[in-house]
Chains A and B, each alone.
Chain A
Amino acid sequence: DQQVKQNSPSLSVQEGRISILNCDYTNSMFDYFLWYKKYPAEGPTFLISISSIKDKNEDGRFTVFLNKSAKHLSLHIVPSQPGDSAVYFCAARLTKAGNQFYFGTGTSLTVIP
Chain B
Amino acid sequence: KAGVTQTPRYLIKTRGQQVTLSCSPISGHRSVSWYQQTPGQGLQFLFEYFSETQRNKGNFPGRFSGRQFSNSRSEMNVSTLELGDSALYLCASSLRLAGQETQYFGPGTRLLVL
Interface residues of chain A, those whose CB is within 8 Å of chain B, are: 2, 4, 6, 32, 34, 36, 41-46, 49, 51, 89, 91, 93, 96-106
B48:A100 contact, CB within 8 angstroms: yes
Alpha-carbon gap, A89 to B28, bound state (A): 26
Contacts of B43 in A (CB 8 A): 44, 89, 91, 103
**For residue B47, which residue of chain A has the nearest CB?**
A100
Q: Which of B31, B102, B108 contacts A46 (CB 8 A)?
A: B102
A105:B41 contact, CB within 8 angstroms: yes
- Which secondary structure dominates where chain A touches chain B? strand
Q: Does B20 contact A (CB under 8 A)?
A: no
Interface pairs A-B: 7 shortest CB-CB: A98-B55, A43-B105, A105-B42, A103-B43, A100-B56, A46-B102, A103-B42
**For residue A5, which residue of chain B has the nearest CB?**
B42
Contacts of A91 in B (CB 8 A): 43, 103
Contacts of A102 in B (CB 8 A): 45
Contacts of B31 in A (CB 8 A): 98-99
Taking CB atoms and an 8 Å cut-off, the chain B residues in 78-114 that contact chain A are: 90, 92, 94, 96, 99-108
Alpha-carbon gap, A91 to B56, bound state (A): 16
Alpha-carbon gap, A10 to B41, bound state (A): 15
Contacts of B21 in A (CB 8 A): none
B105:A100 contact, CB within 8 angstroms: no
Mask, B13-42, CB within 8 Å of A = 1, is: 000000000000000000101010000111
